[in-house]
Amino acid sequence: MVVLKWNGKKRKNDIPLEIKETGPYHILDIYSSNRRSFKLDKEWKNLLIWGENKLVMKSLLNTFKNRINLIYIDPPFATGGEFNLKIQIGENGNYLDNIAYKDKWKEGIDSYLNFLYERLVLMKELLSSNGSIYVHLDWHISHYIKLIMDEIFGSENFRNEIIWAYPAASVKTRRFFIRSYDTILFYSKSDDYKFNDNPKIYQEFSDRVKNALKKDDKGVFYYRGGSHNGKKLSRKVYIEKEGIFPRDVWNDIPYIRANTAEYQGFSTQKPERLLRRIILASTDRGDLVSDFFCGSGTTLTVAEKLDRKWIGCDSNMYSIHMIRKRILNVSKSNDTVNWKKSYNKDPSSFNILGIDKRDETNSIPKVFIRKDIRNKKVSELKGSTDFNVKIHQNDKKIKIELIDYKISFEDFVSDKIKEKIKSYSDWIDYWSIDFNSKNDIFKNMWFSYRTPKIRILPLKSDFYHYKESGSYKVSVKLIDIFGIETIKSYAIQVI
């Protein structure tokens, strides 16, 4: 077997797969101070984890080693570019492009290969014996990663090099052929792996076949020709499935554009139809699907709609916040199996966790900062936030109204951003309420948020009815356009 070597490469058994002796990588509920090591609850809750994926996967190994049925990742491609996340402001169509991630490697290709190699080794440990992994790449790096995947998973477990061909955007160059496809490497962990002949993964018939299809009382058919003794013959051939079993070239799934319903403002967002084919092919209902570069959350959203359990991880807090809203809003999105219908189901319970980096939640992204002070240390640009509410109480019912929001660091914010702010509510992207707050765990009992398509933000909650009289603590959580979270609590007396 050919083995790829590069400067600084570690052997597989040199990469630490267990938690270090200095103490566990604590998983922290980022909305509380409740530090704990990860435990698998009897009642499953999906997991959205904010943190560096190498540390997250090491933390998950204690509980999830050999338990994940499918891993799909869409990692950086070593392009040398920067990729944006569109942050929308208020209700008037204003937005700002923030850098979602930089695909630049100071030490060149060696550092990129080390980065992905170490993570793929961990993914193999997490993958179940009958599990599969799909690694989404493009022309920049796929040839290197194919050899690495052969080394880690075994060339005998290579299943497909899938070509996802899509219409290319307008390209000015005429110095080479226009690049208009991505590569997805499909490997299993063993020869005993799941793969389903599910009609919902089928590719559509070609236009020629579709135009030839007819229908009678027995079903859909086409005429198959032939001849006998010089006479032309034809017979009806009835079809049982709407389409053909997928080839390894997928040219029937369009790329995500800004005017599509599922668009989240993420420049490298992948379409739900792509993940539908992968998840239906390689998992059954109730299986566990993971994406450790989950970006805009397409893998998790499709897993949710297809009744799979899921774990997602990303190091960008904006991605975590975007995915939170996308999952909460899943009932209003398209049904993944029947795209013409609405999904119309509430999401399953999920927890948002994070590797302990709480200081980063209060730093202001540089894209919002005045250019003349952007080079200051991030720690110097931290600021405090505050909001005020009005509590409306009627016997055992209360309603919360958000009436103000203030930031202490407004002088740091660029004039370009401040010009877009017409009201205090334009700073706000999401707010939620725990009407019966206990301990340090925040329970989202009511929430209001903006989506890419629906920008109006309700500033009054619904009435909440307490069944019993007594003293209660109400906690209100607010997340602004910077990604900064603020929580305030109020004592109320219910008579």
pLDDT tens, residue by residue, 442-465: 888 899 999 888 889 999 999 999
Alpha-carbon gap, residue 137 to 163, rounded angstroms: 10
pLDDT score for 228: 52
Spatial CB neighbours of 193, under 8 Å, sequence gap ≥ 6: 130, 131, 132, 159, 282
pLDDT in tens, 52-83: 999 999 999 989 999 999 999 999 877 777 66
Domains of the chain and CATH, by start: 12-202+247-356 (3.40.50.150), 207-238 (no CATH), 364-494 (2.60.40.10)
Specify the DSSP class assigned to residue 413: B
E strands present in 74-137: 82-89, 94-102, 127-137
Q: Crossing angle of helices 272-282/298-305, nearest 10°?
A: 60
Beta-strand pair 181-188/397-407 = unpaired
pLDDT in tens, 132-189: 999 999 998 999 999 999 999 999 999 999 999 987 666 777 888 888 899 999 999 9
pLDDT score for 38: 47
Spatial CB neighbours of 358, under 8 Å, sequence gap ≥ 6: 28, 30
Neighbour tally for 267: CB within 10 Å:
18
Q: With residue 121 as reference, give the H or E element that holds it.
A: helix 109-126
Determine the Cα angle at 154 with ends 151 and 159, to 5°: 120
Least confident of 11-25, 56-70, 293-307, 420-434: 11-25
Neighbour tally for 412: CB within 10 Å:
18
Specify the DSSP class assigned to residue 495: -
pTM for this prediction: 0.84
Specify the DSSP class assigned to residue 297: -
Q: What are phi and psi of 157, to 5 degrees?
A: -100, 10
Q: What are phi and psi of 28, to 5 degrees?
A: -120, 130
Alpha-carbon gap, residue 340 to 461, rounded angstroms: 32
Determine the Cα angle at 338 with ends 278 and 447, to 5°: 90
Q: Which of 203, 181, 70 is nearest to 132 (CA)?
A: 70
